[in-house]
Structure 1
């Protein structure tokens, strides 16, 4: 894994879709393998380790949720992934859409909701990061080859130095997870791990 050396004052942590439906055995996507792979990755504990390192260093944290609105099919059906979301899974106001109780959201941490894969799409995330003088983003959460990957790609396109934390991310299986880390993102972001974040976030 690559080491990072990010100044906390110019670094933010982006927490992607750590929601009940996406991670837990009782969630809507457990049958897809999401809960099993999250357990294999120890993703809840590892995300919390990254959050603790960020809090100690004073780096801002942004939590993201992907949600569906059951009133009308506003999420669209132009791509297969959008057909998987809703009308009941990740429904706004439901248990499934809530952030995991084991992932604390503190008073100085912002939660952004969206309907698309990237945390930048349809939110004010870019403006918020720029207003804070952020140059680097550390991305954790689920799923590695979907929302996490989209967020990392957009971060690079927006001009940020992006790092993805390999053991603080998970997907629906190890193969898809590893495909994103070993192929799709190798020329986009720094692939790092929790221990390197803890050591390198100054």
Structure 2
């Protein structure tokens, strides 16, 4: 268990970035493709806590990145090598590039300085995307991961971040998956082994301390 002092050191605004994972209308929105996940992320308060984290990051000068999963109308370049991908092709709401489904979901605020990173393939926002290069160019060493889902994309993101040499921080109450009881079990038995597990309030409290210029 990290102390507040240790957590504050990890979350220095000058070397920290916040990554929201698939917090898009077509995934977590009320008319999204995955109604069970959308209900859970909203009823648990996780989506509101992601929004609060983004607002706190903006106030503290922490770089925010939004990872968006999308596909072309013709499906070109998309994976078909797992049941998850094939099932996604049959969903009533498609995450099509340029559509309302790939907009960042309310109530998450998006500022001009935020970076939106879109991917057409894979399970993780880091694998095969520009996120790693962007983080290195920004001088980021710690990555705070929030969003969905605790079943697939969030753990993939954390593992990739750790493999790339970043310190991963997971505010456990700002992620969600289905069924509801799976998320705390996965955090306790998996993510806690490789990431600093904390809460959204703890992260925001660290960022409310006097900021250093980036």
What is the TM-score when the length of structure 2 is the normalising length? 0.86
Residue 188 of structure 2 corresponds to 182
Q: State the shift of 1:89 in Å.
A: 1.9
| Superposition RMSD in Å | 1.7
- Determine the C-alpha separation between the residues in 1 that align with 2:127 and 2:25: 22
Q: State the shift of 1:164 in Å.
A: 0.9
Tell me, what secondary structure is at the counterpart of 2:89? coil
**1:146 matched to 2:149:** no
What is the TM-score when the length of structure 1 is the normalising length? 0.91
8 Å CA contact 2:143–2:161 kept in 1: the answer is yes
What 5-or-longer segments of structure 1 have no aligned partner? none
Q: State the shift of 1:46 in Å.
A: 0.3
8 Å CA contact 1:117–1:150 kept in 2: the answer is yes
What 5-or-longer segments of structure 2 have no aligned partner? 210-214
Residue 162 of structure 1 corresponds to 168
Q: State the shift of 1:73 in Å.
A: 5.1
Q: How many residues align?
A: 200
Of residues 53, 57, 68, the one that matches 2:56 is 53
Deviation above 3 Å: which 4+ runs of structure 1?
Answer: none
8 Å CA contact 1:12–1:59 kept in 2: the answer is yes
Tell me, what secondary structure is at the counterpart of 2:102? coil
Q: State the shift of 1:9 in Å.
A: 0.2
